[in-house]
Amino acid sequence: METITFASTNQNKFFEVQLILSTQNVSVEFAKISLVEIQSDSLEEIAREKAKTAFAEVGRQVIVEDDGLFIDSLGGFPGPYSSFVFRTIGNDGILKLLTGSANRSAYFRSLIAFYNGITLSISEGRVDGRISERVTEGGGWGYDPIFVPDGTDLTFAELKKSKNEYSHRRRALENFAKWYLNL
Ligand code: IMP
């Protein structure tokens, strides 16, 4: 089976994608490219357009990912704007917005979009959890230090490699692999 290219600026995502897809017998390589994202309230629309742009750039079958962190008590914010919000107010800013809030439930969505010039397919994964009270130590990237998935008391950052047992990315990639291996 042909190797798939994962196009992203985020190498952290690639390391996770590679590890997860290796358990599904799907071989993936990294193209570190910056893809212009359309502005939209819909992750699906962003992922779809991103896949087409990536295919035009790399010229072979490609997958891209679009994610969002959705916080219930903030009406789903930051959602499709997660990347901008992370760059601007960051994890400390999110914790401030939730000061005094009894409801800290949140979820991550991941959409994996595949495109080979003919077929475009979107696979989804979601993980429910909550926003921690503080920014935890232990590395990780993005919102890893403040997101606690259901089923544990540890944040993604504290879970380290076990993050993949819970993550939205794993669930989306497993759905993708099921579809892809029957293509
Ligand atoms: P995008 O899909 O690259 O636009 O990602 C949206 C935002 O969600 C980025 O700012 C990431 O930091 C954040 N994000 C996506 N997945 C994860 C994750 O697994 N852990 C932590 N943050 C994430």
Contact 57, 51 (CB under 8 A): no
CATH number at residue 99: 3.90.950.10
Burial class from Cβ neighbours inside 10 Å (0-12, 13-18, 19+) for residue 139 reads exposed
User: Which domain covers residue 86, as residue numbers?
Assistant: 4-180
Q: How far apart are CA 80 and CA 132, in angstroms?
A: 21
Q: Active-site residues: which are they?
A: 66
Q: How far apart are CA 31 and CA 154, in angstroms?
A: 32
pLDDT digits (tens, 9 = 90+) for 37-69: 888 999 999 999 999 999 999 999 999 999 999
Whether the CB of 66 sits within 6 Å of ligand 1: yes
Q: How far apart are CA 18 and CA 16, in angstroms?
A: 5
Above 90 in pLDDT, residue 1?
A: no
| Dihedral, CA of residue 164, residue 166, residue 170 and residue 175, to nearest 10 | 160
Average pLDDT over residues 146-163: 97
Local confidence band at 6 (pLDDT 50, 70, 90 cut-offs): very high
Span from the CA of 166 to the centroid of ligand 1 (angstroms): 15
Which of 143, 160, 162 has most ligand 1 atoms within 8 Å of its beta carbon, as the pocket-test mutant?
Answer: 143
Whether the CB of 82 sits within 6 Å of ligand 1: yes
Q: Atom 15, ligand 1: which residue's CA is nearest?
A: 67
Above 90 in pLDDT, residue 5?
A: yes
Q: How far apart are CA 162 and CA 91, in angstroms?
A: 21
pLDDT digits (tens, 9 = 90+) for 77-123: 999 999 999 999 999 999 999 999 999 999 999 999 999 999 999 99
- Count structural domains, the chain: 1
Provide the whole-model pTM.
0.96
pLDDT digits (tens, 9 = 90+) for 160-179: 999 999 999 999 999 999 99
pLDDT value of position 159: 97
